[in-house]
Amino acid sequence: MNTVWRFLRRLFSAPFHLALVISFTLVAAVTIGIGSWVISRTIHDYLTETMNERIARNAFLAQAIYQANLRHTASLAHRLAHDTFVQARLQHPEQWDENTRQLIQTHFTVLLTDPMIEIQYLVAVLDKKGNLMAAQVGAPNGQSDLIHGGNWSSLPVVRTALETGQSISSTEIIPVELLTLVNLDQQARIELQETPKAAPNIFDPREGSAGLAIVSIAPIRETTGKLNGLALVLHLFNNDFALVDQIKTLAQIDTVTIFLGDLRISTNVLNDAGQRAVGTRLAAEVGEVVLKQGREYVGTAFVVKENYITHYEPLRNHAGQIVGILYVGVRQAWFLRLLDQVEQRITLTALVMVLATFLLATPVTRVITDPLKNLREMAQVSKRVAQGETDVRLPGSYGGEVGQLAAEFNAMLDTLQATREQLVHSENLASLGQLAAGVAHELNNPLGTILLYAESAERECAEDDARRADLAMIIKETKRCKRIVADLLNFSRQHQVIAHPTDVNALLQELVEMAPRRIKTVTIPIVTDFDRTLPLIEGDSAQLRQVFLNILTNAVEAMPNGGTLTIRTRHESADKVTIEIQDTGVGIPPENLGKLFTPFFTTKPIGKGTGLGLAISYGIVKMHRGQIQVKSQVGQGTTFTIQLPVKLPKTESAFGTASYAAKNGQMIG
545 vs 604 pLDDT, higher one: 545
Give the separation between CA 357 and CA 29, rounded to whole angstroms: 8
Q: Is the pLDDT of residue 149 over 70?
A: yes
Whether residues 452 and 506 fall in one domain: no
pLDDT reported for residue 46:
80
349 inside domain: no
Give the separation between CA 318 and CA 157, rounded to whole angstroms: 7
Task: Using the 3D structure, point to which of 320, 335, 350 is the last residue of a domain.
Answer: 335
Contact, 191 vs 211, CB < 8 A? no
Q: Is the pLDDT of residue 515 over 70?
A: no
Q: Is the pLDDT of residue 61 over 80?
A: yes
**Amino acid sitting at position 448:** G
Q: Is the pLDDT of residue 20 over 80?
A: no
Min mean pLDDT across 100-114, 310-324, 481-495 is at: 481-495
Contact, 626 vs 544, CB < 8 A? no
Per-residue pLDDT tens over the stretch 184-228: 999 999 999 989 989 999 999 999 999 999 999 999 998 888 899
Q: Is the pLDDT of residue 638 over 80?
A: yes
Task: Using the 3D structure, point to which of 490, 518, 552 is the last residue of a domain.
Answer: 490
Question: What is the SS3 assignment for 137?
Answer: strand
pLDDT reported for residue 343:
84
617 inside domain: yes
CB-based contacts of 318, cutoff 8 Å, min separation 6? 156, 157, 160, 168, 170, 172
pLDDT reported for residue 142:
60
Does the predicted TM-score (pTM) go above 0.75?
A: no
Q: Is the pLDDT of residue 136 over 80?
A: yes
pLDDT reported for residue 340:
82
Per-residue pLDDT tens over the stretch 98-114: 777 778 877 787 777 76
Our count of domains for the chain comes to: 3
pLDDT reported for residue 654:
40
Whether residues 175 and 252 fall in one domain: yes
Whether residues 453 and 498 fall in one domain: no
Whether residues 526 and 613 fall in one domain: yes
473 inside domain: yes
Q: How many other C-beta atoms are found inside a 10 Å radius of the C-beta of residue 503?
A: 14
Min mean pLDDT across 70-74, 78-82, 258-262, 359-363 is at: 359-363
Give the separation between CA 311 and CA 61, rounded to whole angstroms: 12
**pLDDT band at 492; cut points 50, 70, 90:** low
Per-residue pLDDT tens over the stretch 358-417: 788 777 776 666 666 666 677 777 776 666 666 666 676 666 666 677 777 677 655 644
Whether residues 638 and 591 fall in one domain: yes
Percent with pLDDT over 90 in the chain: 37
pLDDT reported for residue 456:
81
Q: Is the pLDDT of residue 350 over 90?
A: no
**pLDDT band at 163; cut points 50, 70, 90:** very high
pLDDT reported for residue 402:
65
Phi and psi dihedrals of 200, rounded to 5? -65, -30
77 vs 456 pLDDT, higher one: 77
Q: Is the pLDDT of residue 354 over 90?
A: no
Q: Is the pLDDT of residue 428 over 50?
A: no
Whether residues 70 and 88 fall in one domain: yes
User: What's the whole-number mean pLDDT along residues 86-100?
Assistant: 80
Q: Is the pLDDT of residue 517 over 60?
A: no
pLDDT reported for residue 371:
62
Mean residue pLDDT of the chain comes to 81
576 inside domain: yes
Whether residues 315 and 247 fall in one domain: yes
CB-based contacts of 70, cutoff 8 Å, min separation 6? 169, 170, 171, 214, 216
User: What's the whole-number mean pLDDT along residues 29-55?
Assistant: 84
Min mean pLDDT across 43-52, 145-154, 258-267, 480-489 is at: 480-489
Contact, 145 vs 102, CB < 8 A? no
627 inside domain: yes
653 inside domain: yes
Q: Is the pLDDT of residue 258 over 80?
A: yes
Long-range CB contact pairs, 92-97, < 8 A, 24+ = 93/127, 93/131, 93/133, 93/228, 93/229, 96/133, 96/134
Residue 131: burial class (beta carbons within 10 Å; 0-12, 13-18, 19+):
middle
pLDDT reported for residue 660:
33
381 inside domain: no
Per-residue pLDDT tens over the stretch 168-180: 999 999 999 999 9
pLDDT reported for residue 106:
78
Q: What angle do CA 265, 271, 275 make, to 5 degrees?
A: 75
Per-residue pLDDT tens over the stretch 644-654: 999 988 754 44
pLDDT reported for residue 192:
93
Per-residue pLDDT tens over the stretch 462-481: 787 877 887 788 887 787 77
Contact, 359 vs 23, CB < 8 A? no
With helix as H, strand as E and coil as C, how does 503-571 read? Answer: CHHHHHHHHHHCCCHHHHCCCCCEEEECCCCCCCEEECHHHHHHHHHHHHHHHHHCCCCCCCEEEEEEE
540 inside domain: yes
Task: Using the 3D structure, point to which of 472, 490, 508 is the last residue of a domain.
Answer: 490
Question: What is the SS3 assignment for 170?
Answer: strand
Whether residues 538 and 660 fall in one domain: yes
Min mean pLDDT across 45-59, 206-220, 388-402, 530-544 is at: 388-402
User: What's the whole-number mean pLDDT along residues 533-562?
Assistant: 90
Residue 114: burial class (beta carbons within 10 Å; 0-12, 13-18, 19+):
middle
pLDDT reported for residue 12:
61
6 vs 80 pLDDT, higher one: 80
pLDDT reported for residue 338:
79
CATH number of the domain that residue 464 is part of: 1.10.287
pLDDT reported for residue 452:
77
Whether residues 300 and 439 fall in one domain: no
**pLDDT band at 664; cut points 50, 70, 90:** very low
Contact, 337 vs 363, CB < 8 A? no
Whether residues 128 and 58 fall in one domain: yes
Give the separation between CA 58 and CA 592, rounded to whole angstroms: 50
CB-based contacts of 185, cutoff 8 Å, min separation 6? 176, 179, 209
CATH number of the domain that residue 612 is part of: 3.30.565.10
Whether residues 662 and 554 fall in one domain: yes
Question: What residue numbers bound the domain in which 596 lies?
Answer: 494-667
User: What's the whole-number mean pLDDT along residues 28-50?
Assistant: 84
Percent with pLDDT over 70 in the chain: 78
Whether residues 484 and 513 fall in one domain: no
Min mean pLDDT across 92-106, 518-532, 535-549, 602-616 is at: 602-616
Cα end-to-end span (Å), the chain: 68
CATH number of the domain that residue 215 is part of: 3.30.450.20
